[in-house]
Amino acid sequence: MHHRRLLLWPAFLFALSAAGCGDVLQGVGDLSRDFVHGDTTTVVSTTTLPQPGGGIALVGLTGSVVWVNDQYKVDRGLTADTVVRRVWLRGDGIDPYVQAGREEIAVALPNVEFPRLVPEKVTHISSQLVFDVQTGALDVATAAAFGLWTAEPYTVPRTEGQLVVLRIGLRSALAGQGTEGISTFQLVDGRELAWSFGNYVYQLFCRTGISEESCFAMVDSMTSLEVLSYLVGGTTG
Which of the residue ranges 29-38, 56-65, 187-196 would you say has the lowest mean pLDDT? 29-38
- pLDDT greater at residue 1 or residue 138: 138
Mean pLDDT across the stretch 56-70?
A: 93
Looking at residue 229, its pLDDT comes to 81
Residue 19 pLDDT more than 80? no
- pLDDT greater at residue 9 or residue 137: 137
Looking at residue 219, its pLDDT comes to 96
Looking at residue 201, its pLDDT comes to 95
Domain boundaries, the chain: 30-47+61-231
- pLDDT greater at residue 16 or residue 57: 57
**CB–CB of 174/201 below 8 Å?**
yes
- pLDDT greater at residue 10 or residue 132: 132
Task: Dump pLDDT digits (tens) for 203-232.
Answer: 999 999 999 999 999 999 999 999 988 776
Looking at residue 149, its pLDDT comes to 97
| Topology (CATH) of 30-47+61-231 | Phosphorylase Kinase; domain 1 (3.30.200)
Residue 107 pLDDT more than 90? yes
- pLDDT greater at residue 216 or residue 28: 216
Residue 106 pLDDT more than 90? yes
Looking at residue 175, its pLDDT comes to 52
Residue 113 pLDDT more than 70? yes
